[in-house]
Amino acid sequence: MKYVEQANSWEARAIRNTLFPFTDLEILSRRGAAVLERGEGPYVFDVHGRKFLDANSGLWNMVAGFGNSALAEAATRQFERLPGYHSFFGRIPDQAVALGEKLIEVSPFEAGKVFLCSSGSEANDTMVKILWLANGFEGFPHRRKILTRSGGYHGVTAVAASMTGKPYNRHFGLPLDGFIHLSCPHYWRFAEPGESEREFSRRLADELKDVIRREGAETIAGFFAEPVLGAGGVIPPPEGYFKLVAAILSEFEIPLIADEVICGFGRTGRIWGCESYGFKPDAIISSKNLTCGYFPLAAVILGDSLANRVQAASEGSDEFPHGFTASGHPVGCAVALEAIDLILNGGLLSNVKRLSPQFNQRMHEFAAHRHVGEVRVAGFMGALELVADKETRESFPSELKISERIAGACEDRGLICRPLGDSVILCPPFILSDLQLDELFDKLSLGIEDALSGIQT
């Protein structure tokens, strides 16, 4: 009998009392939850001692793996010094001061300001409120609209979900008014026949210009973009895209905000995704890797211009009227300082650079596979897009849940990867060894064949 069918198993208990975020309920009830007990390096172990190589670094973020003692000790030390505090009323933990300095130092900005909170969603909400606050103070209260892209993911709170370009948000009656989604910048899927990648980028840039003209530049507060769409399926920007987009935004004086929650701190092989793709944003949103996933923390990093604007607006109302109880939590800040040091100086980023060519090569070996339509890679993340027919690029019937089948087959072989639409997503931890990279791809190949052999192809 399966664990999930035994009344008091961890699996049955997990289902009884948990509202699972973003989980296919039919698959959950059939397979049961994987209830995890501990982790070590890139591996996690469930309550039955089964071992999984986590090729998704938790949810993109556990990039230092699961048993990093430097991170655990940074947290323990800070729990003993000052276990919690806020940043309201002019009081602030020393670690939050140090983290603010560090984030400006490693940012593309000469000077700026940092606001800390606990999640990417909160950080995006905060950024939108900062734009609204500054515009209102400057006499442009109608300059409120937010531009994002279809397929973009910015979080789940009401504003962040409104920014997110995913169909499931309609179930909540979202987006809110004034959140406008531009076309998804996925060349392979959305290019017109014969259109080059540059022409595709040009068409998307023209669309941006048209939308700005249609809505009126004076009504638009900002444009938010992930350098590489992450939860949209690891979609790197088409050639020339950000150069064209940044020029248009700058012409209309619309701030460009880089949502670096996934890309930031090394995922693309540089500190920031905007560095990898050659553009300079006006602000950066960071989370996930910021603490290597060891503590919930996020940062809004404002470049000089936005920092000055929010400062002036705050002085106008005597304060910046926004903040969370956990803003600048000292343990999160201490962990982040350690995590940033590990990534930049402790070998994590250099290992990403070292392994990326191999990762890229192993990913592209799947290009020849009869059911892989597109292979996408950006630094140390990638996606395999499955198709029923390579010629016509026709998808598998959705009821087959092809990517879920593959992820399930991989899990049965001890590999965690993520199904996302018709794609399988990989974003391994930065500490991976050569042998573990081989293990990952060997298990993935076997998992894909297991899943395909279970259906008629």
Site residues for ligand PLP per CB under 6 A:
119-121, 124, 153-155, 226, 230-231, 259, 261-262, 287-288
Closest approach of ligand PLP to the CB of residue 398, in Å: 24
Closest approach of ligand PLP to the CB of residue 409, in Å: 26
Token pair of 418, please? Answer: 């993520």
Burial class (CB in 10 A: 0-12, 13-18, 19+), 336: buried
Kindly tell me which of 227 and 238 has the beta carbon lying closer to ligand PLP: 227
Kindly tell me which of 282 and 439 has the beta carbon lying closer to ligand PLP: 282
Closest approach of ligand PLP to the CB of residue 342, in Å: 20
Q: How far apart are CA 119 and CA 137, in angstroms?
A: 27
Kindly tell me which of 408 and 419 has the beta carbon lying closer to ligand PLP: 419
DSSP 361-413: HHHHGGGGSTTEEEEEEETTEEEEEE-SBTTTTBPPPGGG-HHHHHHHHHHHT
How many other C-beta atoms lie within 10 A of the C-beta of residue 363? 20
Closest approach of ligand PLP to the CB of residue 127, in Å: 11
Provide the b/e sequence for 365-397 (b: ≥16 CB within 10 Å): ebeebebbbbbbbbbbbbbbbbbbeeeeeebbe
Please count the residues of the chain.
457
- Please identify the residue of the shown chain whose CB is closest to the bound ligand PLP: 120
Kindly tell me which of 10 and 295 has the beta carbon lying closer to ligand PLP: 295
Closest approach of ligand PLP to the CB of residue 431, in Å: 20
Kindly tell me which of 300 and 313 has the beta carbon lying closer to ligand PLP: 300
Closest approach of ligand PLP to the CB of residue 266, in Å: 14
Q: How far apart are CA 358 and CA 385, in angstroms?
A: 19
Closest approach of ligand PLP to the CB of residue 294, in Å: 14
Q: Specify the amino acid at residue 143.
A: R
Lookup result for tokens 């895209």: 241
Burial class (CB in 10 A: 0-12, 13-18, 19+), 209: middle
The greatest distance separating any two alpha carbons of the chain, rounded to the nearest whole angstrom, comes to 67
Kindly tell me which of 55 and 452 has the beta carbon lying closer to ligand PLP: 55
Cis peptide before 175 (omega within 30 of 0): yes
Kindly tell me which of 235 and 249 has the beta carbon lying closer to ligand PLP: 235
